[in-house]
């Protein structure tokens, strides 16, 4: 790595926190888990309309076969992740905690069978033959969504709206959530593929420049990606300060390009599209290898977890199987989180299937699982200091409690990115973000009403 890249560390200017990073599984190579005997594949693993099943009960399916079709523009295709028999379409509890539709597949006896035309070899294919529209179509066909956890359908992000032009692609390798290491490992082990993926995304967007943003706590990944991009025209690596939420889209764009996505706007408004490294890898597999999104890397971790690991698992695998593979559930586990500790969702069942957006499974011990008792606000201003969006969380909470929604809206509650920094820092253990979410929901419906 050149001196230049080490010294040129950037960050976003306002707010942010420094939680202990606990990257326990950073040194553990990605391990492929055997396909499970049964999967439950949710029809809604993305933002937008749930997919519509295209298979029947008792139908035989192969790995990679389309089993549910994206329903409208903002939606995503879903594929079989093991070969076997569709036993039913049933309601299962997913990571939202609600029972939602999923296709259940039971593995066949005769071993794995993949759909035709999928290249399962490890050969790196760098040559890009497809044109813009075809690349986007392939990505849509493969059912790729934002793999960092946002799960926004990727092909939608690639369709630049009229009147806007994309200038930069930013590849998000920040992984600022404590504990998680899936993206880190992917960069180390599949760096070359990620770069081809970035090239594909660049062509799809029609941009000449791409920047890979990586936090400084992953020096090996920075070095690796810098090495790989040394001779890549237009692709550079940008080391970033370890500061949460560095990986938030708006913060990342501000840090890397010093451009500020306008309030209520999208990255494309400042000529930028951001994709996660996991997404870039999935794009590589979809376009170059014809392989739909059927598996992903999931970090299984926690202070008391016996073997914190990074697993390559089939989507639809029950979370419990991943935990077992990491040494089982530790005694005194108080909470199981899908995703990272700052933005992840607490699970109410361990049968929840891994979905496209599942970046990690975090097991939190009892003593850390409970929140502190809520005390009065002492107006210490810490929440205001840490808010990366320039909001006043203490005020948003109070106004929401008083149901003064007009003021809540005026105070820019809709700009909150739900990073959780405010609740994290509050010395009075005030559930700031809980109330802000409530405020956002209410204001959103008021805005909808007003526009009708």
Partner 1 sequence: MSTQFLTISPSPHIHSGESVNKLMYGVLIALAPALAVSFYVFGLGAVIVTLIAVLSCVFFEYILTKYLLHREPAITDGSAVITGVLLAFNVPSNLPWWIIIIGSLVAIGVGKISFGGLGNNPFNPALVGRVFLLISFPVQMTSWPLPLENAWQLADAATGATPLGLIKEGLSTGKPLSDLMQEVPSYVSLLLGNVGGSVGEVSALALIIGVIYMLWKKIITWHIPVAMLGTAFIFTGGLWLINPEKFADPVFHLLTGGLLLGAFFMATDYVTSPMTTKAMLIFGAGVGFITIVIREFGSYPEGVSFAILIMNGFVPLMNKYIKPKRFGVKKNG
CA distance 66 to 115: 9
- Burial (CB count <10 Å: 0-12, 13-18, 19+), residue 451: exposed
User: Which helix (H) or strand (E) is 209 found in, with range?
Assistant: strand 209-215
The token pair that represents 34 in the structure block: 């055997």
Give the binding range for ligand SF4 (CB under 6 A) out of 6-14, 33-41, 190-198, 385-393: 385-393
Give the binding range for ligand SF4 (CB under 6 A) out of 45-53, 127-135, 289-297, 423-431: 423-431
- Of 393, 399, 439, 443, the one binding ligand SF4 by CB under 6 A: 393
Closest contact distance (angstroms) between CB of 367 and partner 1 is 11
Closest contact distance (angstroms) between CB of 304 and partner 1 is 13
The reply on whether position 260 binds partner 1 by CB under 8 A is: yes
**Measuring CA to CA, how many Å separate 432 from each of 42, 85, 247, 436?**
31, 47, 21, 6
CA distance 161 to 74: 14
The reply on whether position 382 binds ligand SF4 by CB under 6 A is: yes
Query: Which residue, among 301, 357, 319, has the nearest Cα to 143 in the 3D structure?
Result: 357
The reply on whether position 414 binds ligand SF4 by CB under 6 A is: no
3-state SS class at 225 = helix
3-state SS class at 423 = helix
Query: Which residue, among 287, 47, 268, has the nearest Cα to 146 in the 3D structure?
Result: 47
The reply on whether position 329 binds partner 1 by CB under 8 A is: yes
Q: Name residues contacting partner 1, limited to 411-430 (CB under 8 A).
A: 411-412, 415, 418, 420-421, 423-429
The count of chain residues that interact with partner 1, using the rule CB under 8 A, is 72
The reply on whether position 261 binds partner 1 by CB under 8 A is: yes
- Of 280, 362, 389, 438, the one binding ligand SF4 by CB under 6 A: 389
The reply on whether position 342 binds ligand SF4 by CB under 6 A is: no
Closest to ligand SF4 by CB, 24 vs 422, is 422
CA distance 193 to 281: 6
Outline where DSSP puts E strands in 347-410: 360-365
Closest to ligand SF4 by CB, 171 vs 391, is 391
- Of 364, 397, 399, 443, the one binding partner 1 by CB under 8 A: 364
Question: What letter does residue 333 receive in the DSSP assignment?
Answer: E
CA distance 172 to 183: 9
Q: Name residues contacting partner 1, limited to 433-452 (CB under 8 A).
A: 433-434, 437
CA distance 267 to 274: 8
The token pair that represents 384 in the structure block: 């205001």
- Of 82, 337, 364, 433, the one binding ligand SF4 by CB under 6 A: 433
290-309 footprint of partner 1 as x/- string (CB under 8 A) = --------------------
Q: Is the dihedral of CA 390, 393, 395, 399 positive or negative?
A: positive
Q: Of partner 1, ligand SF4, none, which one does residue 416 interact with (CB within 5 to 8 Å by kind)? A: ligand SF4
- Of 272, 416, 438, 443, the one binding ligand SF4 by CB under 6 A: 416
First to last CA, the chain: 55
Do the beta carbons of residue 387 and residue 338 sit within 8 Å?
no
Q: Name residues contacting partner 1, limited to 172-211 (CB under 8 A).
A: 178
- Of 168, 244, 284, 394, the one binding ligand SF4 by CB under 6 A: 394
Beta partners for residue 236, in sequence order? 211
Q: Of partner 1, ligand SF4, none, which one does residue 393 interact with (CB within 5 to 8 Å by kind)? A: ligand SF4
The reply on whether position 281 binds partner 1 by CB under 8 A is: no
The residues that touch ligand SF4, with contacts defined as CB under 6 A, are 377-383, 386-389, 391, 393-394, 416-422, 425-428, 430, 432-433, 436
């Amino acid at each position: 790595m050149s001196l230049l890249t080490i010294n040129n560390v950037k960050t976003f200017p306002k707010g942010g926190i420094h939680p202990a990073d606990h990257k326990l599984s950073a040194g553990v190579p990605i391990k492929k888990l055997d396909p499970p005997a049964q999967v439950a594949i949710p029809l809604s693993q993305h933002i937008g309309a749930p997919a519509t099943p295209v298979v029947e009960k008792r139908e035989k399916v192969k790995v990679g076969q389309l089993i549910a079709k994206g329903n409208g523009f903002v939606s995503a295709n879903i594929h079989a992740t093991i070969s076997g028999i569709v036993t039913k379409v049933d309601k299962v509890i997913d990571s939202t905690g609600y029972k939602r539709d999923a296709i259940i597949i039971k593995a066949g006896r005769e071993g794995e069978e993949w759909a035709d035309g999928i290249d399962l070899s490890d050969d790196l294919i760098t040559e890009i033959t497809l044109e813009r529209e075809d690349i986007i179509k392939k990505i849509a066909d493969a059912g790729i969504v934002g793999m960092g956890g946002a799960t926004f359908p990727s092909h939608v992000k690639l369709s630049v709206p009229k009147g806007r032009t994309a200038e930069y692609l930013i590849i998000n390798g920040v992984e600022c959530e404590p504990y998680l290491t899936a993206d880190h490992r992917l960069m180390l082990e599949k760096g070359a593929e990620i770069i081809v993926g970035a090239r594909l995304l660049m062509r799809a967007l029609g941009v000449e420049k791409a920047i890979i943003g990586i936090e400084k706590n992953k020096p090996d990944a920075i070095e690796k990606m810098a090495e790989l991009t040394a001779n890549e025209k237009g692709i550079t690596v940008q080391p970033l300060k370890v500061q949460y939420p560095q990986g938030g889209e708006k913060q990342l764009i501000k840090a890397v390009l010093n451009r500020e996505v306008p309030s209520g706007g999208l990255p494309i408004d400042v000529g930028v599209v951001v994709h996660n490294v996991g997404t870039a890898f999935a794009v590589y597999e979809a376009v170059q290898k014809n392989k739909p999104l059927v598996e992903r890397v999931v970090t299984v971790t926690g202070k008391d977890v016996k073997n914190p690991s990074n697993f390559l698992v089939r989507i639809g695998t029950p979370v419990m199987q991943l935990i077992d593979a990491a040494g089982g559930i530790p005694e005194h586990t108080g909470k199981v989180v899908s995703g990272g500790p700052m933005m992840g969702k607490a699970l109410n069942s361990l049968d929840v299937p891994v979905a496209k957006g599942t970046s990690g499974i975090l097991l939190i011990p009892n003593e850390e699982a409970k929140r502190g008792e809520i005390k009065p606000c002492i107006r210490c201003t810490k929440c205001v200091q840490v808010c990366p969006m320039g909001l006043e969380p203490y005020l948003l909470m109070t106004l929401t409690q008083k149901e003064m929604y007009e003021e809540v809206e005026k105070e820019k509650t809709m700009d909150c990115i739900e990073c959780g920094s405010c609740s994290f820092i509050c010395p009075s253990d005030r559930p700031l973000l809980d109330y802000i979410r409530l405020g956002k929901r209410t204001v959103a419906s008021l805005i909808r009403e007003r526009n009708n």
